[in-house]
Amino acid sequence: MRYTTLGRSGLRVSRACLGTMNFGSDPQAPTPEAEARRVVDAFLDAGHNFIDTADTYRGGTSEEIVGRAIAHRRAEVVLATKAGVPQGGGPNDRGLSRAHLTRALEASLRRLGTDYVDLYQCHVPDPDTPAEETMAVLDDFVRSGKVRYLGCSNFTAAGIVGAQWAAQRVGATPFISLQANYSLIARAIEGEIVPTCRQHGLGILAYSPLGSGLLAGRYHRGVAPAEGSRLAEWAAMPSPTARTFVSGLLAERHFDIAEEVAAVAAELGTPTPAVALAWLGGRSEITSVVLGPRSVEQLETNLAGLAASLPEHTVTRLDAASRSTVAPPVNGQHHAS
């Protein structure tokens, strides 16, 4: 089993992280509790130790299910959760303020049935709260023993730098990790965010490694997402943001990449998602890959893919097919004066 330290810390995590956004008890949940428990046990039995959830997943149900699933194996698990996404309609029911984060952590600990979280992450940036306030209250959590390490998610390079500098100014604990969208169809973080994480001591946790299913062959060019699929549900939401996300994901360029992945999989005689995961698992800039299996069978396929190695010429081919999704660094050399 391969473990690695998370960012500039001594915390050792598995290269695979179990994402639990699909865990729920409602009839529409992709992974009901009984199957979720089997997934957790299979993941830990295979030697992996890193599990990620969030207070917003399934209205907190994901945390509850994860807490029950790991109760008898808590010491084996590096448990991560997140806060910051709106939890209600009140003015302090969201964000990274002391007021919200204090309540959010206590609520997460209750749902998880534990007295500490190994990695507590700011789920989204909060432009309305000073970074010094956020880092100071997070440091209080660490000093109290309720949190062991700190991370962020979906932060820009500037946001990461601002948070790390704020922690230094107030003598607080810095971030050691960033969760970011990263896959063959989402490589924009390579331009600015990856170098920033390297410089400021953050390990990178790659979420949505299969492009919300596009790189797993679940969606096809010119065919509407099947009823009941994740993208069909998002496309039907009243939120314009959700609909915009779906239309952006189903861009022609992304189908070009997905079809190249499928072609490679056919040539190698391996499942399509395994190719995308093997490519990601070979990226030195990634500490751990957040997998979101709906079943034990999907988990086993994903773990096998992540552990596999692609031939060098195949990696070069996939790099070339997806290269246009990489944003170049802003270093002053790409603009005429």
Residue 56 sits in which domain range?
3-325
Give the CB-side neighbour count of residue 269, counting CA atoms within 13 A.
Answer: 0
Domains held by the chain: number:
1
pLDDT digits 0-9 by tens, 176-186: 999 999 999 99
Question: For 73-95, how does the pLDDT look when each residue is reduced to its tens digit (9 = 90+)?
Answer: 999 999 999 999 999 999 999 99
Distance CA 147, CA 167 (A): 16
* 78, containing H or E segment: strand 78-83
Token pair in block for residue 281: 């698992």
Q: Is residue 330 part of a domain?
A: no
Q: Which residues lie below 8 Å from residue 148, measured CB to CB, with a gap of 6+?
A: 11, 116, 117, 118, 119, 142
Chain mean position to CA 79: 13
For the annotated catalytic residues, the residue numbers are 57
The DSSP line for 276-297 is HHHHHHT-TT-SEEEE--SSHH
Q: Which residues pair with 183 in a beta bridge?
A: 186
Q: Which residue has the tokens 């603009």?
A: 335
Flag whether 144 is in a domain: yes
147-153 vs 16-19, strand pairing mode: unpaired
At residue 96 the predicted structure's pLDDT band, cuts being 50, 70 and 90, is: very high
Q: What CATH number is given to the structural domain containing 121?
A: 3.20.20.100
Within 10 Å of residue 237's Cβ, how many Cβ atoms?
Answer: 12
> Could you tell me if residue 137 is inside a domain?
yes
pLDDT of residue 331: 55
Q: Is 335 inside any structural domain?
A: no
331 within a domain of the structure (yes/no): no
Q: Given CA atoms 90, 91, 93, 98 in this order, what sign does their dihedral have? A: negative
pLDDT digits (tens, 9 = 90+) for 306-329: 999 999 999 999 999 998 666 666
Rounded CA-CA distance 300/274 in Å is 10
Rounded mean pLDDT, 233-261: 87
Query: What mean pLDDT comes out for the span 286-305?
Result: 96
Cα three-residue angle 37-39-45, rounded to 5 degrees: 100
pLDDT at 239: 78
Spatial distance between the Cα atoms of 108 and 82, rounded to a whole number of angstroms: 9
- Residue identified by tokens 């959700």 is 242
What pLDDT sits at residue 224?
84
Q: In angstroms, rounded to a whole number, what is the distance separating the alpha carbons of residues 138 and 122? A: 9
Q: Residue 334 falls within a domain, yes or no?
A: no
Confidence (pLDDT) at 240: 82
- 200, β-bridge pairs: none
Residue 303 is assigned to a structural domain of this protein: yes
Does residue 77 belong to any structural domain of this protein?
yes
HSE, side-chain direction, 13 A CA sphere, residue 335:
6
Q: Are 179 and 209 in contact (CB under 8 A)?
A: no
